[in-house]
Amino acid sequence: MSTGPGKCHVIVFANEKGGTGKSTTAVHVAIALAGRGARVAAYDLDHRQRTMGRYFDNRADTIKRIGRDLPMPRYLTHDGDSLPRFTEQLDELTTDVDFLVIDTPGRDDRFARMAAQRADTLVTPMNDSFVDFDLIGQVDPITYKVTRPSFYAELIWEARKARAKADGSTIDWVVLRNRLQHIEARNMRRVSEALDQLSKRVGFRIIPGLGERVIYRELFPKGLTMIDSRDFGEMGLAHVAARQEMREMMGALALPEPAMPLFA
């Protein structure tokens, strides 16, 4: 699958709940794509926390300090207020690139909604708990069967309809299950079954994401990712496992494939 000449594939990371690893995953995907040789841009819509923007700031400082080229998207941060600026920056970032990765705030936000309508791939990270599941669906407290989609699932449904009406395109909605390691097995099974039920009703794919690993937090100050493992010293078992998670996640996202291989 190819992005095609002049076609920018827009990947939007969106979840109205914080603490799901959304920004960390978005940064890793952007740098993984750049590491393949793709032309990548990144857009941080969360002007309050600015996690993605600060991650790339740290990365730029590291590149300058070590004097070595690392895969690096071009990136901008929105001001959270100006519609003309949003439109201008979006146009700038989708020009002459293969991918645009957008990180949205962990709250309801009008620019996040607008970004969702522009998505080719919409990624909703969630942890394996019914607290996170409640964002997209409600379950019976006794049987744990899905009773109805939640507001956010309906919002994505509306974004899909708007996109189809605008240009006939479809949005590939992906629910990404992060931080699976330390969840009690019965609860994990119940959440998994509820996700399977809801996916058939509202039409999203379910893929594995990143584990709950200290290494992801430790890499932030230097702006490094698991793609840069050669640049942060000796690899332990946790690093090897995290790189495998990245491989599996990138494969499951099924994004258009640039020519160069990932993790050469």
**Domain for residue 134, yes or no?**
yes
Phi-psi region of 137 (alpha: psi -120 to 50; beta: other; left: phi over 0): beta
Q: How large is the average pLDDT for residues 159-184?
A: 84
Is residue 261 over pLDDT 50? no
pLDDT at 145: 92
pLDDT tens, position by position, 3-44: 544 589 999 999 888 778 899 999 999 999 999 999 999 999
Q: Which residues neighbour 220 within 8 Å (Cβ) at sequence distance 6 or greater?
A: 24, 55, 58
**Domain for residue 123, yes or no?**
yes
Provide the sign of the torsion angle of the four alpha carbons 193, 199, 202, 208, taken in this order: positive
Q: Which residues neighbour 110 within 8 Å (Cβ) at sequence distance 6 or greater?
A: none
pLDDT at 136: 92
Structural domain of residue 17, as residue ranges? 9-253
CA distance 235 to 255: 28
pLDDT tens, position by position, 34-70: 999 999 999 999 999 999 999 999 999 999 998 988 9
Tokens of 140: 């019976």
Is residue 262 over pLDDT 60? no
Q: Which residues neighbour 181 within 8 Å (Cβ) at sequence distance 6 or greater?
A: 211, 212
Instruction: Quote the number of domains for the chain.
Output: 1
pLDDT at 245: 86
Contact between 211 and 179 under an 8 Å Cβ cutoff? The reply is yes
pLDDT at 235: 61
**Domain for residue 179, yes or no?**
yes
**Domain for residue 1, yes or no?**
no
Q: How large is the average pLDDT for residues 155-171?
A: 92
**Domain for residue 53, yes or no?**
yes
Q: Which of 100, 78, 105, 102 is nearest to 19 (CA)?
A: 105
The proportion of the chain whose per-residue pLDDT surpasses 70, expressed as a percent, equals 89
pLDDT tens, position by position, 112-130: 999 999 999 999 998 878 8
- State whether residue 94 is helix, strand or coil: coil
**Domain for residue 78, yes or no?**
yes
Provide the pLDDT confidence category of residue 181 given band limits of 50, 70 and 90: low
**Kindly report the CA angle at 149 between 180 and 128, in degrees rounded to 5?**
10
Provide the pLDDT confidence category of residue 176 given band limits of 50, 70 and 90: very high
Average model confidence (pLDDT) for the chain?
87
User: Which CATH number goes with the domain that contains 115?
Assistant: 3.40.50.300
Cross-strand partners of 76: 43
- State whether residue 78 is helix, strand or coil: coil
**Domain for residue 207, yes or no?**
yes
**Domain for residue 264, yes or no?**
no
The enclosing H or E element of 241 equals helix 237-253
CA distances from 164 to 96, 158, 161 (A): 24, 10, 5
Provide the pLDDT confidence category of residue 157 given band limits of 50, 70 and 90: very high
CA distances from 144 to 63, 121, 141, 208 (A): 49, 29, 6, 22
pLDDT at 90: 96
Q: How large is the average pLDDT for residues 200-222?
A: 86
What does R_g of the chain's alpha carbons equal in angstroms? Answer: 18
Q: How large is the average pLDDT for residues 194-215?
A: 88
